[in-house]
Amino acid sequence: MAEFENFDMFKFGGLVNQVENLQLKVDKLEAGMEELLALANKGRGGFWMGMAVVSAFSTFIGFLSHYLTGK
């Protein structure tokens, strides 16, 4: 019972408050990370679509240059 004689309820309440605040911050960070992940996934699809368009355009230019020069 000697441990409980030195127990300070005021300090314990402060620690509980700090833990609750940290939990709220972690929840906000998790929500932000999910939003960033969703944006990254959208951007990745746009990147591959752009790569497909540029590839098709360069193929068309290559075909035209080969056809017009006769080589």
Q: Is the per-residue pLDDT at 4 higher than 70?
A: no
| pTM of the predicted model as reported, rounded to 2 decimal places | 0.50
Between these two residues, 70 and 3, which has the higher pLDDT value?
A: 70
Q: Is the per-residue pLDDT at 14 higher than 80?
A: yes
Sorted by sequence, the CB contacts under 8 Å of residue 17 that are 6+ apart come out as none
**pLDDT tens-digit profile of 27-62?**
999 999 999 998 888 777 888 888 999 999 999 999
Q: What is the pLDDT of residue 64?
A: 92
Q: Is the per-residue pLDDT at 3 higher than 70?
A: no
